[in-house]
Amino acid sequence: MVDYRIEKDVMGEVKVPADSYYGAFTERAKNNFQISGIRAHKEFLAALATIKKAAALANIELKQLDEKIGKAIVKAADEVVQGKFDEYFILDVYQAGAGTPFNMNCNEIIANRATEILGGKLGQYIINPNNHVNMAQSTNDVIPSTTRIAILFLLKELVAEARKLEWSLRKKAEEFRHILKVGRTHWEDAVPITLGQEFEAYAVSVAKGIKRMLDASEELKELGIGGTAIGTGITTHPKYHETAVKKLNELTKLNLRTTKNMIELTQNYNCFVSFSGALNMIAIDIFRISNNLAILNSGPKGGISEIMLPDVEPGSSIMPGKINPSIPECMIMVCYDVMGKSKTVELAAQYSILELNVMGPVIAYNILQSMKLLTNTLKMFREMCIDGITANEERCDELLHKSTAIATALNPYLGYQSVSKIVKESLKNNSTIKETVLKYKLIEEKDLNKILSPEEMTKPKEADKKLIEKIQNSGSYKKYLERL
């Protein structure tokens, strides 16, 4: 049987579990918002408690908070950062606007623990959640600042995983650099490319995605802490904003900075849109790469099958021996989810009415969740897919020479109209471009091999003018032109 204590607030009495570190506000919010069962990310909680610690240190330094009370708050906040009270952060991520329940949940936990540290009992509140723990703060500056810091906490690991993926793709690019294959546009054969060039392009896309995330994160380092309710800084010491940011930098080493206009930061959440947009763009790139790998792997007999993905599990409950591109498929699912979350952030950032945006909780949840999803899934993608990809070099060569892809390389030597007829005849007779050219003795085989070499077909290369003159002055070429 649960024992309760009675707490009082402006609305009356509230029954709170006797051994709980949260209080009346959290209990009411818990009863109001039973939505998803999803709790705040631990990095969000750590960032929130870090702000409480920095606020106490700043207020002590500015002689606004009794040192004994402040030190108890600091010690309690440290324990929250360490995760000792995670079980008492019980609130749903979908809750009252701006995140006041999150803020008060933390205030109550720290106040109760700090009260214990000073020899009091739970619910006695020798240290008050509002007057002491929340001194010089409002939900409206605490929650967006918490979200910024939590994102920066998670960014290091996400960037590290993305860089590892980039490096793995570059390794594959080097491994496959000599393998010539058919390129494809519009789902049709196009000019040749090397498999290595394809993978190098994928690596470059990931590198650009990393840069976008880092660039977007810079704006997140500007904090409005000290702006309190609407950014005017009411109830704070004139030096509080500067001092609080300084303390946060000492605690986090994140190179955070003050702002010249806390009112603007309270209203404008576009920094979250920018960062979420960077996550969205890397998700788009990873989606494209994953999908391309699945296409190139398709088969093994009835598809393209130019590469072979690692086998990770059986692909069918009814078709024996079938192996699916399971890892890319999972990666694509996550990319879709990240794209959707980015749209949620974009829409939530629009809901800024006059002096405040109240959508902080849903913005925080979606960005942090996207970051964790990407971090975990990029690791899986690299370890269980990219690192184990092998090339089917024989198949690449087969499809290249069966296709009309190499025909474009002949344009400078034979002319567009002549090459078009060669392509048409090759398709009609089910012969290769090379066979058709040699059939009419348009180009000597040694010269043809040079023209159709990887070095000639996969990078800018000036056509051999002497060879053009030789070919176009030949009787075989002139005779072929007469047939057009």
pLDDT band at 453 (very low <50, low <70, confident <90, very high): confident
CB 310 within 8 A of CB 384: yes
Per the listing, tokens 């606004």 go with 64
Residue-wise pLDDT tens digits, 58-74: 999 999 999 999 999 99
Residue-wise pLDDT tens digits, 365-422: 999 999 999 999 999 999 999 999 999 999 999 999 888 888 999 999 999 999 999 9
What does the block give as tokens for 186?
């519009």
Report pTM: 0.93
The pLDDT value given to residue 192: 94
Q: At residue 484, does pLDDT exceed 80?
A: no
Per the listing, tokens 């089917």 go with 392
Active site residue ranges: 316
* Closest listed residue to residue 322, CA positions, set 334, 314, 330: 314
Measured CA to CA in angstroms, residue 327 lies from 196, 284, 380, 423, 483 at distances of 21, 16, 8, 38, 53
Burial profile 4-38: b = 16 or more Cβ within 10 angstroms, e = fewer: ebebeeeeeebebeeebbbbbbbbbbbeebeeeee
Architecture (CATH level 2) of domain 159-220+257-393: Up-down Bundle (1.20)
Architecture (CATH level 2) of domain 404-482: Orthogonal Bundle (1.10)
The pLDDT value given to residue 21: 98
> What does the pLDDT average to over 450-456?
86
d(CA 20, CA 4): 9
Q: At residue 363, does pLDDT exceed 90?
A: yes
What does the block give as tokens for 239?
């030096």
The pLDDT value given to residue 346: 98
The pLDDT value given to residue 461: 85
Q: Where are the domains of the chain?
A: 4-135, 159-220+257-393, 404-482
Q: At residue 114, does pLDDT exceed 80?
A: yes
CATH topology of domain 4-135: Fumarase C; Chain B, domain 1 (1.10.275)
Measured CA to CA in angstroms, residue 35 lies from 29, 41, 264 at distances of 11, 16, 31
Helix, strand, or coil (residue 399): helix
Per the listing, tokens 């184990």 go with 388
> What does the pLDDT average to over 93-108?
97
Task: Count the alpha carbons within 13 Å of 141 in the hemisphere toward its beta carbon.
Answer: 33
